[in-house]
Amino acid sequence: MPLSTLYRPFSTKPHTNHKNQKEAEGDKRRQRDCRREYRDEQACVLDAAISHVVRLGWSEEAMICGAKDVGLSPSIVGSFARKEAALVEYFMDLCLQKLADKIESGLDLPDLILSQRISKIVRTRLEMQIPYISKWHQALSIQAQPVNISTSLKQRAILVDEIWDAAGDQSMDINWYVKRTVLGGIYSATEVYMLTDHSPGSFLSMNPLIFA
């Protein structure tokens, strides 16, 4: 699926990117089938590179290995404008897409009260980062670089909006901004906490989310 469709404008309307099962399957097939189009090839390289992240970090080396895996010359890595940032941003998009799919396929949200719903969604999203937790500080530092920060803030804003949407937020006034700002803070704080949470069972204790 073209990732650009994930960048929808802020809205409190019902989700527009939720597709039915059949369409979603078609999208996945299209992603696997590397066609001769630049955007697709780029996605293939990034997709393959993610499996090397644990070993090599969010780096050009991981992307070089990814390109080798999909049978392309690693030279293609040079055509990514912001190299490692492209990899991190691709991963963020991928996680957002997975989160949307999970919410759609049912997290039993309606049975919970609002704060529990939000807590559950945030947790689901952050758990996707656990396999990469040893390298996640690197991803955060890449996202914080001046050239990348605008994209990463945008991605976070979309994520937070997605979470509020899924939690059933209907606000149309100043609350809209307040809610998103507050959740953005909580999300980022929890994310940073994860980096140093070495307790048994690790991050699953979810201390900062006690408001649930």
State which of positions 60-89 bind another protein (CB under 8 A): 60-61, 64-65, 67, 71-79, 83
Query: What CA dihedral angle connects 190, 194, 195 and 201, to 10 degrees?
Result: 170
Residue 59 found at the interface with another protein (CB under 8 A):
yes
State which of positions 17-36 bind another protein (CB under 8 A): 36
Tell me the three state secondary structure of residue 26: helix
| Phi, psi of 87, rounded to the nearest 5 degrees | -70, -45
Using the minimum distance from each CB to another protein, give the nearer residue, 26 or 78: 78
Using the minimum distance from each CB to another protein, give the nearer residue, 64 or 103: 64
At position 152, the amino acid (one-letter code) is S
Using the minimum distance from each CB to another protein, give the nearer residue, 34 or 212: 34
| Phi, psi of 200, rounded to the nearest 5 degrees | -60, 140
Q: How many CB atoms lie within 10 A of CB 21?
A: 10
The dihedral of CA 122, 124, 125, 130: what is its sign? positive
Q: Which of 17, 24, 30, 41 binds another protein (CB under 8 A)?
A: 41
Residue 141 found at the interface with another protein (CB under 8 A):
no
Residue 170 found at the interface with another protein (CB under 8 A):
no
What are the residues binding another protein (CB under 8 A)? 36-38, 41, 45, 55-57, 59-61, 64-65, 67, 71-79, 83
